[in-house]
Amino acid sequence: EIVLTQSPATLSLSPGERATLSCRASQSVSSYLAWYQQKPGQAPRLLIYDASNRATGIPARFSGSGSGTDFTLTISSLEPEDFAVYYCQQRSNWPPEITFGQGTRLEIK
Amino acid sequence: QLQLQESGPGLVKPSETLSLTCTVSGGSISSSSYYWGWIRQPPGKGLEWIGSIYYSGSTYYNPSLKSRVTISVDTSKNQFSLKLSSVTAADTAVYYCARHSGGNSGDWFDPWGQGTLVTVSS
């Protein structure tokens, strides 16, 4: 099983600041990584797929990068609505399995 | 616009079988481009993939749940379903259904249903 480790567990920032969230895989996942945003009481929303592709309707302030084992989600300038929990997710080929990271909580400082 | 909606009992007794259905609207579940998946989230915790199904009936499951999970599809109703047997309190969670994209590149889930809370309790 490929384990995804997200850091930090909690990130405290102010609106307008830059957020950098990390996701590290226990073995290479190539560029097969997705990022989601989840707000309280809501379903997760896809932000990024294949490490760096923004999903439909996602603002340009969200960007993803990385390959292999180290990935980053960057929010260039935080808006009030960006404070939420963020998850990364990967698919391994064998055994075919999908796993999520434990999440990073982005909170208002 | 594709929408997914989970339905089923909100309370299940220990040792019984949890059964949920996801109804897809605004698109066909028989699209050759997608799988359809179930994901769950225990209260206050992270996300766990349960399994996914193709319209043809081909499935793959989370190895940790495989012995208790069955996912099926009914293309005539544009629905897919989850059965989880021998449930315990540890299976209490919000259960989501989602369209599962993947293939030659990575896999991702989009869109998601709103989720339904299932509590396991006597």
Cα distance between residue B36 and residue B55, in whole Å = 8
Q: Which of A25-39, B1-15, B57-71, B95-109 has the lowest mean pLDDT?
A: B95-109
Between strands B116-120 and B108-112, the pairing is unpaired
Half-sphere exposure of B108 (CA within 13 A, CB side): 26
pLDDT in the model for residue A94: 73
Report the pLDDT averaged over residues B65-93.
97
Q: pLDDT grade, residue B103 (50/70/90)?
A: low
B51 and B59 in contact (C-beta within 8 Å)? yes
Cα distance between residue B116 and residue B18, in whole Å = 12
* DSSP 8-state secondary structure symbol assigned to residue A84: S
Report the pLDDT averaged over residues B88-114.
93
pLDDT in the model for residue B105: 75
Share of chain B above pLDDT 70, in %: 98
Residue among A29, A42, A99 minimizing CB distance to B49: A99
SS3 B20: strand
pLDDT in tens, A29-55: 999 999 999 999 999 999 999 999 999
Cβ contacts (< 8 Å) between B47 and chain A: which residues? Answer: 36, 44, 87, 89, 100, 103
Report the pLDDT averaged over residues B31-39.
91
Q: How many CB atoms lie within 10 A of CB B18?
A: 23
From A88's Cα to the closest Cα of chain B, the distance in A is 10
Q: pLDDT grade, residue B67 (50/70/90)?
A: very high
> Does the pLDDT of residue B15 top 70, yes or no?
yes
pLDDT in tens, B47-59: 999 999 999 999 9
Residue among A31, A44, A97 minimizing CB distance to B63: A97
pLDDT under 50 in chain A at which residues?
none
Residue A107's nearest CA partner among A25, A5, A9, A7 is: A9
Task: Please write down the long-range contacts of A65-68, taking CB distance under 8 Å and 24 or more positions apart.
Answer: A66/A23, A66/A31, A66/A33, A67/A30, A67/A31, A68/A25, A68/A28, A68/A29, A68/A30
Interface test with A, best of B41, B60, B94, B109 (most A CBs within 10 A): B109
From B104's Cα to the closest Cα of chain A, the distance in A is 10
Contact check, Cβ <8 Å, A50/B105: yes
> Taking an 8 Å Cβ-Cβ cutoff, which residues of chain B contact chain A?
37, 46-49, 52, 60, 62-63, 96, 98, 101-102, 105-115
Burial class (CB in 10 A: 0-12, 13-18, 19+), A69: middle
Contact check, Cβ <8 Å, A46/B109: yes
Contact check, Cβ <8 Å, B106/A98: no
- Chain-wide mean pLDDT for chain B? 95
Residue among A45, A49, A98 minimizing CB distance to B49: A98
From A103's Cα to the closest Cα of chain B, the distance in A is 7
> Does the pLDDT of residue B109 top 80, yes or no?
yes
pLDDT in the model for residue B84: 98
